[in-house]
Structure 1
Amino acid sequence: MSDTNPAADPANPATPANPAPRGGPPGRLMAAETAEQPAVLRRILTEGAPQIRETAERIAARAPRFVLLTARGTSDNAALYAKYLLEILLGRPCGMTSMSTTTAYGARQDLTDCLVIAVSQSGGSPDLVASTRAAREAGAVTLAVTNNAGSPLAAAAEFHIDVLAGPERALPATKTYTAELLALYLLVDGLRGGDGTAAKVLPDLAETVLARRDEVRRLAARYRFAERMVLTSRGYGYPTAREAALKLMETSYIPALAYSGADLLHGPLAMVDNVSPVIAVVPEGKGGEALRPVLDRLRDRGADLVVVGPGAEVARASAGFVLPTGELPEELQPVLEILPLQLLAYEVTIARGQDPDAPRALAKVTETR
């Protein structure tokens, strides 16, 4: 789902107070917002990139030595992606925060020389706002990354980046997730003095992937009656596996478990058989190389293995989706990897006779403290 959201701000339709309206075909909002993603990526690259680069320069001038990331839901997976970027590309030690240490236990920390990045589609969750305020009071450089420039979180942080995704009305977050990924990449690239050139091919590649919906629809047929699914990846692909599992669970209600390939071998591999499907997200690069021994073990166990990634790995699996990554750096591939998996969650849900726009028991407004 979207991360935690506030009540609607009349001045900003990106955070509606009510769930997706009834009427019309099931999933029409999720389908439309998924299709918007190439346009959103272009908007960030043309309209948002200069401000992101300026923000990165101002933060770099403060020379933070450590980074803490804080988020919920879908945005938590985007924050995990940023953790990989910051550790690999910048060599900065990073951690994912536990907001309850501040909001529930009242812990006070010394965050001098620390950068705290709060990622939230809505920017309204009380615990995100409170923990960001506490971090700023504790001496941290604070940055909010949201889809709502007028949100309480944007006001609480010293710096703000608007991901420019526009209103998102379906409960499952799609375009806000990829917008967060690209904005976070541009931030980290800016912190190391880059200009984001490598990302300019993303909108066209995203259009190519989303045009292949029929392939995904055929793939979805094998999951219509699935009782459980396992998703796995390594490196930059691991946040993609987690986000895909979340999308499948909240739309189709299939229990979907996401594991790092390394963690999968430390016990959970025992539950893999030839009945429960396994989806492997295989990056082109070091993450994919690290995952190959895991793929071999899965094949040895007779797993119903589906691969999203290189053609050579798809050919060795039960089925799959070949990503057109070309020369795209591994650190940018997650923006593409999630697209066929968003489509898969949508198509599986429709095949099971459910409405992905409005999953049961969920609401767009979810407040945590």
Structure 2
Amino acid sequence: MNDPTRTLMYAEASQSSEVAALQYASNAVLIADLVHRLRALDPQIIFTCARGSSDHAATYAKYLIETRLRIPVVSQAPSISSIYGAPLLHMKDQPFILISQSGKSPDLLLSADAARKAGALVIAFVNDTSSPLADLAEIVVPLHAGPEKSVAATKSYINTLCAFAHLVSHWSGDNEVQEAVERLPETLRTAWAKDWSAGADLLDDAQSMFVLGRGLTLGVAQEAALKFKETSGIHAEAFSMAEVVHGPMALVKSGFPLLIFPPLDKAAVGLDAIVHQFLGRNAKIAVAGQQFDGAVMLGLPERLNSVTAPIAMVQSSYAMVNAISVKRGYDPDHPPMLQKVTETT
């Protein structure tokens, strides 16, 4: 295969804007009811549980909920239930949000069952609403992504972020964020049309690289790093821009590649200093949406809100990752040693 537009990964990622529009129209009443339920519950803490790309969506949800609603969010390790069999008594009367494309992973099912027995409000963000996870959950938030045959998840990940943005924008009552969320289908269409080929040219020979984000963009940095690993065999590691200076930056020498997803809120503090420090080491740097002398700027749509910007960034990144994978001779739809449903216990 030498045409990147002929992969399933490319085709499915291109559907994200239509899926977002369908999701928002289909879930409007459900989200309103869920917001009412959560406000009445008045949770003191929220738990998430997921693996892989879905766990990266949970990272986005954590920062979104903590910055907009000021409710602590904790990632619950699936193994606490599936391996150690510990009761989840600390979850009583608190929301437990599980995120899954397939809704079939055994460890998530065991976690959902344990949380229900502990008295948690079990909520599933899931693409397959006929799945065992949907049956276990008290509330199901469908992603409406439709069939996703490429092993490399794209539209289901994007539309998990869309669903969290939908929920939190209404829960918080922030009109500006609500308007940005309503524009997301068009924002995603515009993001998909952006040309990130300069980033592909910069990164296509990478063996190792860093992907940086912070706050709301950390989850999409994690997701992009995973996609580089699984589709192109690149040893890509995601770091917070605040954490990379605590040791990992010692690896950055001349020619070392970095991809940066800058946040559009207060978390951007220190970005300029970090970029210039890496440029001083002659690193190869691509930055989404911001121009620095000596770095490649990757275009983004205009009028981005800090909540929706990460979703636009990851949408554009999928086309770039897909192109790099094909150029390196990989099949992004069938990464080696991977399958669609991960049978982790």
Partner of 1:319: 296
Corresponding pairs, count: 341
Partner of 2:336: 360
Q: Does 1:36 align with 2:15?
A: yes
Aligned partner of residue 274 in structure 2, secondary structure: helix
Q: Equivalent of 2:116, from 133, 136, 142?
A: 136
CA distance in 2, matches of 1:63, 1:25: 47
Partner of 2:99: 119
Alpha-carbon distance, 1:26 to partner: 8.2
Structure 2 unaligned segments of length 5 or more: list them: none
Q: How does 1:194-205 map to 2 (within 5 A)?
A: 196-205=178-187
Partner of 1:349: 325
Alpha-carbon distance, 1:290 to partner: 4.2
Change (3 A) 1:25 1:325: closer
Q: Equivalent of 1:272, from 252, 262, 270?
A: 252
Deviations 1:5-30 (A, max 9, x none): xxxxxxxxxxxxxxxxx9x9885211
Are 1:307 and 1:317, in contact at CA under 8 Å, matched by a contact in 2?
A: no
Q: Equivalent of 2:54, from 44, 63, 75?
A: 75
CA distance in 2, matches of 1:317, 1:57: 49
Partner of 1:52: 31
Deviates most, 129-138 or 283-292: 283-292
TM-score by length of 2: 0.94
Q: How does 1:224-263 map to 2 (within 5 A)?
A: 224-263=204-243
- RMSD of equivalent CA atoms: 1.8
CA distance in 2, matches of 1:198, 1:320: 23
Are 2:209 and 2:236, in contact at CA under 8 Å, matched by a contact in 1?
A: yes
Q: How does 1:16-35 map to 2 (within 5 A)?
A: 27-35=6-14
Are 2:124 and 2:134, in contact at CA under 8 Å, matched by a contact in 1?
A: yes
Structure 1 unaligned segments of length 5 or more: list them: 1-21
CA distance in 2, matches of 1:49, 1:291: 37
Are 1:66 and 1:113, in contact at CA under 8 Å, matched by a contact in 2?
A: no
CA distance in 2, matches of 1:292, 1:285: 14
Q: Does 1:281 align with 2:257?
A: no
Alpha-carbon distance, 1:31 to partner: 1.2
Change (3 A) 1:317 1:161: farther
Change (3 A) 1:343 1:132: same
Where does structure 1 differ by over 4 angstroms across 4 or more consecutive aligned residues? 24-27
Q: Equivalent of 1:331, from 307, 324, 328?
A: 307
CA distance in 2, matches of 1:320, 1:248: 19
TM-score by length of 1: 0.88
Aligned partner of residue 330 in structure 1, secondary structure: coil
Alpha-carbon distance, 1:233 to partner: 1.4
CA distance in 2, matches of 1:340, 1:82: 20
- Alignment-mate amino acid for residue 296 of structure 2: A
CA distance in 1, matches of 2:4, 2:247: 42
Deviations 1:275-302 (A, max 9, x none): 2201111122222234333223212222
Change (3 A) 1:201 1:26: closer
- Alignment-mate amino acid for residue 277 of structure 1: P
